[in-house]
Structure 1
Amino acid sequence: MSPTDREIVRAYRQLYTWSLRAVQFSKPARFTVRDRLRRIFRANDRVSFDQRRIDNTIEFLQGAAREKGLEHRIVKGLTHVWWAESRWRQSDRYLNTWKSNKGREETRILRTAYDPFYHKIRMLNETMGMCI
């Protein structure tokens, strides 16, 4: 069954609130979390909405906000890598990979630098039933 607009807005607000608390409202991390949540909620369709996964993610973020344990370190590391990736994608070095003066292998490596990171996130989401 497709979720209502109210359920989607509620999920977005809860994820955003607990994400901000998990990163302790730190300046680069809060903007990184905001931009990532906006992009995900705008791009995904209603069929991929899973309330159970969102509840598990909120519980994980609550643990990260509650104490500086493993959850907090994971969230901190994720936001740092996402921030660095956004800076990387705006840099001249990444934008120059579209020019033909680089070797094919070097271009492939530069474009796929974050693939192992995203594979690990997919595996974490799959095992814990989350949607980070």
Structure 2
Amino acid sequence: MSTPPNLIHAYRHLLRAGLRAVQFSQPSRSTITARLREGFRDPRGTFDAERVRRTVWFLNAAAQQRGLEHKILKNLCRVHWDRMRELRRMPWRVRVRSELEGKGKGGKKRVRDDVIKGTEFEHYERTIAMLNDSMQLCLR
């Protein structure tokens, strides 16, 4: 399956602008590349050239001066890095257990002890979604 050239160009423009915006610093650099790969490999994802163009403008503005755009990008990278680090620290048995949604013996579902677990970042993700909708961006 071949990839359309405009998709490749969009990926490269976003990667270049993102790396310039974080000044190639190590934790942010790996975060930017990971999120970008994840977004472009998503089979449910849609491609909107206008949103990509606006996102590149946003990243270029973040690279030029330490204003609001820079702070937003810095916080996005920090939150993603912390979430991935927390997942890496979690033992594989705990991850599998949480994915199975706590089934107990005999196939009965166990009641979760912590109702907040799994919803910690819900408000954060909604805020990013509203920012994307209002500014026509494609930040993750």
Give 1:7's aligned residue: 6
Which deviates the most, 11-20 or 93-102? 93-102
Distance, in Å, in 2 between the alignment partners of 1:115 and 1:89 is 17
Aligned-CA RMSD value = 2.3
Is residue 2:123 matched to residue 1:124? Answer: no
Superposed CA deviations along residues 44-95 of structure 1, whole A, max 9, x for unmatched, are: 457x110000011000000000111111111001100010111122222763
Equivalent pairs: percent with the same residue? 37
Query: Which range moved further: 121-130 or 36-45?
Result: 36-45
> Is the partner of 1:109 in helix, strand or coil?
coil
Native 8 Å contact 1:23 1:30 kept in 2? yes
Pairing 1:1-132 to 2, within 5 Å after superposition: 5-44=4-43, 48-92=46-90, 95=95, 98=98, 100=102, 104-106=112-114, 108-132=115-139
| TM value normalised by structure 1 | 0.86
Indicate the structure with greater helix content: 1
Unaligned stretches of 5+ in structure 1? none
Residue correspondences, number: 127
Contact 1:97–1:111 under 8 Å retained in 2? no
Larger Rg: 2
TM-score normalised to structure 2 length: 0.81
Secondary structure at the counterpart of residue 111 of structure 1: coil
Q: Which runs of 5+ in 2 are unaligned?
A: 105-109
